[in-house]
Structure 1
Amino acid sequence: MQKQLPVIVIGAGPVGLAAAAHLLERGEEPLVLEAGERVGANLRRWSHVRMFSPWEFNVDTASVRLLAPTGWTVPDPAGFPTGGELARDYLEPLAATPAIAPRLRLGARVTAVSRHQRDRMKDAGRAQSPFVVRYEDARGEHELQARAVIDASGTYLTPNPLGASGLPALGEAALAANIHYGIPDVLGADRARYAGRRVLVLGSGHSAFNVLADLATLARTEPGMQIVWGLRRGSIQRVLGGGDHDQLRERGRLGKLIGGLVEQGALVVATGFLLDRLERTAEGIVGRAGEVALPPVDEIVATTGFRPDLRPYAEIRLDLDPGTQAPRALAPLIDPNQHSCGSVRPHGAVELSHPEPDLYLVGMKSYGRAPTFLLATGYEQVRSVAAAIAGDWEAARRVELVLPETGVCITQFADEEAPAAASCCGPKPAQVVPAAKDGCCGGPPKADDAACCVRDEIARNAGAGGCGCSAPAPAPARAPVAACCG
């Protein structure tokens, strides 16, 4: 009976449609439920932003095989698409194929998943009972049965709040009209909102970098703008990345761009800022962390990451890591305290399994609150999951993905050329709130925690006292690089 039921895929983004393609190759019957009115709805919310990863890493193999008979070919494999281009030039043709189109329902928002006539307390016959999936569309509420469920709905619609405690800052809800969560189109559709305004950007990831870069570009032609950058980390050095030493070239370029803006005094930087409340005053909106207050602003951009929406699974038995909210077996592989884009190895159905057989959270949602999701890794996830659902555990356990040494990040980069790198001694003190000693001499050190940067580490390894930007060094050792901090 269950074999005749479909595998319901939640979400028609890149990973969700890839799941459908792999299921079809396995002889399974997928049904894709997408909350948006078009495929790639989340991608379209940052359609103006260009990706770090080139086209060759942004398409799925089974999906390409499905597209081949239509005459579709991959755009320039070395080119870097925007989110909008990925949706238009890849997802839309894929969704229109004769295999996918009749198995796709748009405007169908999933609200709950459970087992037929089994709440989460019921053991008897649980694994043999089909899933029930409830969804809402323009015609009302519906319920379907499924033999398996793959949730590839992502996390973009559930951003983290601004408060450093994980809760909304006091006053955050009341100021919602002045807060944008995610990456606004500063130079396009949202230009009027930010032109000539004072803007606070909170966050330390590459989403924040893109917003800061666009705001700085806008400020060159719009007088009266002030850009305040607040981040919880105590230093921007590690945040900016390795610059020329970064093995992800475009990520390094974006880090250099932001470092240059800090050095030029284009940004007011507040490091170690743990926001706990927002207040509207006569001078503007003021962010506070204890007794520390940021300069008043008119608008706030929140780029503090995302978290999974687990509300539909109240009656499902999930095994999630208490910290990352990722599947327990996956969590140690993606914990951002231990891994970057380059050190997360490919994984599949084994690591994504839960006590509820044949239910899988995949793609960005599988990472919980961890930020280092790789789009190519998502494709490997669903290849493995489709094999497991079809009963081919040998293929499910096999790793078929080979990434470049540092991985391929889905995070975005800015198109413009980076200005000169930050000086050895970091940002101008007058523009830092509180004072920070960052931007030392380039990328972060590879191994020596006592060194402040790559150049300093190299000098120390050669027996010198470093470039003079960290621990004091004897005068003879500093002489060759006396200009470093001069």
Structure 2
Amino acid sequence: MSDLPVAVIGAGPTGLAAAAHLRTRGRAAVVLEAGPSAGTAVRDWAHVRLFSPWRELIDPSAAALLDASGWQTPDGDRYPTGGDWVDGYLQPLADALDPVVHYGARVTGVARSGRDRLVDSGRDGASFVVHVNGRDGEERIEASAVLDASGTWSRPNPLGGDGLPALGESAARVTYRVPDLRDPSTRDRYAGKHIAVAGTGASAMTALVALGELADEAPGTRVSWLVRRGSATNAFGGGDNDQLVERGALGRRAQQAVNAGHVRTSTGFRARALVPHGEQVDIESFDGQRVERVDEIVAVTGMRPDLSYLSEIRLDLDPVLHSPKALAPLIDPNIHSCGTVYPHGAKELAQPDAGFYLVGMKSYGRAPSFLAMTGYEQVRSVVAEIAGDHEAAERVELTLPDTGVCGGAGLFDEDESAASGGCCGTATDEVLTIGGTIRG
């Protein structure tokens, strides 16, 4: 099978980095992107500024490939928007990888050649077959290995507090993205309205900041913040203790927006139903709380992986997160604390069907807080394993910035104030390595 390409699903940051590492090691690749261009998902949030600086958003092997094409390296200390990331790095990288990147190529299935999920005989020696609906119709691509870097962007979690859509959610005015208030029509849609924001992650913080600024400028604009946990204490992050400076600053700005009086917080609020009142809705929770006369809903409650096209691949996934089982204990928000993710690579990401890997955001399943440099280190290790360089694959190194805040979803129904700072204190650099040198 060494003559067959490695199939990479998704032309986002992790998928393109995988292709760059494959080229560096002299292995053929084919990158299958459902969208019309590189970084399709990132383009959907082009208006949002990242809290990672440029130096943490560029894969080293990709940079070497781009440098050879005369690419201008961005200022490593600057913080780009999603649009900057696409225009200044992702699309140029995809262009440099040409012709291996195929756009409009939606993967509909992955299997072992001639064998369904039940067949053991000859399975490990069989190639993979990737079923694709492309611009020229249906296609079957034979591959020696498959890296699924398709992310989770296409599968946002619903507003409903039980993981399923709330009653009436499909008929309500709900957006599952941070609205771009720079766009005049979008701004008009939210100005002077009652907006409910659900979620406590970075996207929710970004939405609270943007809508708080809108409320300062557009009279009548007010925000109801729906927090599923029993407390919002840790929602704003670690502030000055966050080793990602801009992530800490985002939390502080969100807290200022709440303190300014434009945002009313409802904790322990797990949406059950949306009851219509003309063009508005009332949002009811499972415990009887009610937020009335809402015009717009921004539900940014996380995302989940699409596993529908992997039904014929043998997967060993955690039953809670839908991440690779060996990775789950490192990222489970029920127990994960202080933002530290221990080194992981090919060993933790491998699946029972040898040669198939979940990488990038998809490898985290439903767990949050994925950083680009995590994906870059994942694919460095995985590609080394595919290339037979087992020593490099095992030499996984990862240094991630501490969030500066402790406690996971295990505190869902509790006041988190007692846990904040309990294991973190003042953040310090923690470098976790297994041999070798540090990579970005």
Does TM-score exceed 0.5, indicating one fold? yes
Partner of 2:2: 3
* Deviation, structure 1 residue 135: 1.0
Partner of 1:185: 180
Partner of 1:128: 125
Distance verdict in 2 for CA 1:396–1:213, change over 3 Å: same
Task: Check conservation: 1:131, 1:145, Cα contact below 8 A.
Answer: yes
Task: Check conservation: 1:187, 1:214, Cα contact below 8 A.
Answer: no
Task: Check conservation: 2:274, 2:282, Cα contact below 8 A.
Answer: yes
| Match of residue 140, structure 1, among 94, 119, 137 | 137
Question: Runs of 4 or more off by more than 6 Å in structure 1?
Answer: none
**Alignment root-mean-square deviation, CA:** 2.1
CA distance in 2, matches of 1:404, 1:158: 27
Please tell me whether residue 230 in structure 1 is matched to residue 226 in structure 2: yes
* Deviation, structure 1 residue 239: 1.1
Please tell me whether residue 260 in structure 1 is matched to residue 256 in structure 2: yes
Partner of 2:392: 395
Distance verdict in 2 for CA 1:231–1:68, change over 3 Å: same
**Given residue 187 of structure 1, which amino acid in structure 2 is its aligned partner?**
R
Task: Check conservation: 1:187, 1:218, Cα contact below 8 A.
Answer: no
CA distance in 1, matches of 2:99, 2:278: 56
Normalising by structure 2, we get a TM-score of 0.90
SS at match of 1:141: strand
* Deviation, structure 1 residue 283: 7.3
CA distance in 2, matches of 1:289, 1:406: 30
SS at match of 1:142: strand
Task: Check conservation: 2:384, 2:392, Cα contact below 8 A.
Answer: yes
**Given residue 19 of structure 1, which amino acid in structure 2 is its aligned partner?**
A
**Given residue 275 of structure 1, which amino acid in structure 2 is its aligned partner?**
A
Normalising by structure 1, we get a TM-score of 0.82
Partner of 1:343: 340
* Deviation, structure 1 residue 218: 1.3
CA distance in 1, matches of 2:420, 2:225: 24
Q: Which stretches in structure 2 are left out of the alignment for 5+ residues?
A: 405-413, 427-440
CA distance in 2, matches of 1:285, 1:292: 14
Partner of 1:218: 214
**Given residue 446 of structure 1, which amino acid in structure 2 is its aligned partner?**
G
- Rg larger in 1 or in 2? 1
Partner of 1:356: 353
SS at match of 2:47: coil
Q: Deviations over 1:119-168 (max 9, x none)?
A: 00000001111111011123321111111100111001100111111111
**Given residue 199 of structure 1, which amino acid in structure 2 is its aligned partner?**
I
* Deviation, structure 1 residue 76: 0.8
* Deviation, structure 1 residue 448: 8.2
**Given residue 270 of structure 1, which amino acid in structure 2 is its aligned partner?**
S
| Match of residue 277, structure 1, among 252, 259, 273 | 273
Task: Check conservation: 1:346, 1:380, Cα contact below 8 A.
Answer: no
| Match of residue 329, structure 1, among 317, 326, 331 | 326
CA distance in 2, matches of 1:219, 1:280: 24
Partner of 2:284: 288
* Deviation, structure 1 residue 444: 6.7
* Aligned positions of 1:457-472 closer than 5 A: none
CA distance in 2, matches of 1:26, 1:139: 30
| Match of residue 315, structure 1, among 312, 316, 337 | 312
Please tell me whether residue 301 in structure 1 is matched to residue 276 in structure 2: no
| Match of residue 191, structure 2, among 186, 195, 207 | 195
**Given residue 87 of structure 2, which amino acid in structure 1 is its aligned partner?**
R
Task: Check conservation: 1:352, 1:360, Cα contact below 8 A.
Answer: yes
Please tell me whether residue 155 in structure 1 is matched to residue 160 in structure 2: no
* Deviation, structure 1 residue 392: 1.2
Task: Check conservation: 1:238, 1:444, Cα contact below 8 A.
Answer: no
Percent identity of the aligned residues?
52
Please tell me whether residue 174 in structure 1 is matched to residue 171 in structure 2: yes
Task: Check conservation: 1:21, 1:63, Cα contact below 8 A.
Answer: yes
**Given residue 21 of structure 2, which amino acid in structure 1 is its aligned partner?**
H
Distance verdict in 2 for CA 1:340–1:19, change over 3 Å: farther
Distance verdict in 2 for CA 1:110–1:283, change over 3 Å: closer
Task: Check conservation: 2:338, 2:423, Cα contact below 8 A.
Answer: no
Task: Check conservation: 1:340, 1:372, Cα contact below 8 A.
Answer: no
Distance verdict in 2 for CA 1:179–1:265, change over 3 Å: same
CA distance in 2, matches of 1:322, 1:160: 17
Partner of 1:243: 239
Partner of 1:90: 89
Partner of 1:417: none
Partner of 2:51: 52
**Given residue 184 of structure 1, which amino acid in structure 2 is its aligned partner?**
P
CA distance in 2, matches of 1:271, 1:13: 35
**Given residue 191 of structure 1, which amino acid in structure 2 is its aligned partner?**
R
* Deviation, structure 1 residue 73: 3.2
Task: Check conservation: 2:6, 2:144, Cα contact below 8 A.
Answer: yes
Distance verdict in 2 for CA 1:34–1:437, change over 3 Å: closer
Q: Deviations over 1:217-247 (max 9, x none)?
A: 1122212212111010111111112323333
Please tell me whether residue 205 in structure 1 is matched to residue 201 in structure 2: yes
CA distance in 1, matches of 2:295, 2:73: 43
Q: Deviations over 1:458-485 (max 9, x none)?
A: xxxxxxxxxxxxxxxxxxxxxxxxxxxx
SS at match of 1:239: coil
CA distance in 2, matches of 1:82, 1:37: 20
SS at match of 1:53: coil
* Deviation, structure 1 residue 266: 1.2
**Given residue 43 of structure 1, which amino acid in structure 2 is its aligned partner?**
V
Distance verdict in 2 for CA 1:165–1:5, change over 3 Å: same
* Deviation, structure 1 residue 251: 2.0
CA distance in 1, matches of 2:13, 2:394: 22
Task: Check conservation: 1:39, 1:87, Cα contact below 8 A.
Answer: yes
Distance verdict in 2 for CA 1:143–1:150, change over 3 Å: same
| Match of residue 364, structure 2, among 364, 367, 374 | 367
Distance verdict in 2 for CA 1:37–1:340, change over 3 Å: farther
CA distance in 2, matches of 1:314, 1:406: 36
Partner of 1:474: none
Task: Check conservation: 2:324, 2:349, Cα contact below 8 A.
Answer: yes
Task: Check conservation: 1:237, 1:444, Cα contact below 8 A.
Answer: no
SS at match of 1:92: helix
Q: Deviations over 1:29-69 (max 9, x none)?
A: 00001011010000001000011110001000110110111
Q: Which stretches in structure 1 are left out of the alignment for 5+ residues?
A: 408-435, 456-486
